[in-house]
């Protein structure tokens, strides 16, 4: 072999080694890029889950706070209802004043999405009603229905704030 051929072989060998090195570097960079992509996707998914969880917690805290506040004013609502039931058959300024107060209270509760439940002739549901007595009456044909309401129940959306206390027919 001549020196030229030998030199050419060495150059080819070096060129091949350089290509192999570059090829290996490219493969390493591709692997690193894939790992970085995967890490980025996982981080984005974790952040999205965190954001959704925080949103649910915030809504839950707000809902609980409103429910606690409403629960604190329910005795006032009960007293107002009792006064209204006494005064509704009378005439005068007291009746008008109670009617205005009751209307304001009802609209305030409605604006908070608070609804009263538990009326006579509704079907008894142990999930939302609390039966504190039973009545056996031959005249009443319906069974497992509310015959008397001792205290209204209140709910906000699907959340029960206070169970209704009722008398149930057997």
Bridge partners (DSSP) listed for residue 153: 117
Query: How far is the C-alpha of 77 from the C-alpha of 89, rounded, in Å?
Result: 19
Please give the CATH number for the structural domain made up of 115-170. Answer: 2.30.22.10
Query: How far is the C-alpha of 148 from the C-alpha of 134, rounded, in Å?
Result: 10
Give the torsion sign (CA, 82, 86, 89, 92).
Answer: negative
Q: Which residues of the chain have pLDDT under 70?
A: 1-11, 138-141
**CA dist list (Å): 76 to 81, 149, 155:** 9, 17, 16
Bridge partners (DSSP) listed for residue 114: 156
Alpha-carbon Rg for the chain in angstroms: 38
Residue 36: closest CA among 46, 44, 48: 44
Q: Give residue-wise pLDDT tens across range 83-125.
A: 988 888 888 888 888 889 999 999 999 999 999 999 988 899 9
pLDDT score, position 10? 66
pLDDT score, position 131? 92
pLDDT score, position 22? 83
pLDDT score, position 1? 56
pLDDT score, position 49? 96
For the entire predicted model, the pTM comes to 0.68
Q: How do 159-162 and 164-169 pair as beta strands? A: unpaired
Query: How far is the C-alpha of 50 from the C-alpha of 42, rounded, in Å?
Result: 12
Query: How far is the C-alpha of 120 from the C-alpha of 118, rounded, in Å?
Result: 7
């Amino acid at each position: 072999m001549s020196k030229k051929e030998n030199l050419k072989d060495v150059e080819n060998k070096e060129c091949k080694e350089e290509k192999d090195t570059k090829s290996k570097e490219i493969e390493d960079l591709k692997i690193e890029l894939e790992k970085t992509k995967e890490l980025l996707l996982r981080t984005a998914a974790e952040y999205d889950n965190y954001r959704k969880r925080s949103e649910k917690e915030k809504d839950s805290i707000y809902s609980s706070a409103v429910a606690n506040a409403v629960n604190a004013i329910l005795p006032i609502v009960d007293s107002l209802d009792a006064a209204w039931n006494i005064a509704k058959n009378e005439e005068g300024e007291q009746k008008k004043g109670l009617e205005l107060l009751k209307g304001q209270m009802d609209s305030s509760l409605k604006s908070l999405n608070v609804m009263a439940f538990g009326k006579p002739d509704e079907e008894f549901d142990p999930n939302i009603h609390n039966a504190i007595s039973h009545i056996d009456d031959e005249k009443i044909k319906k069974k497992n229905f509310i015959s008397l309401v001792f205290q209204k129940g209140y709910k906000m959306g699907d959340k029960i704030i206070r169970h209704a206390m009722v008398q149930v027919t057997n």
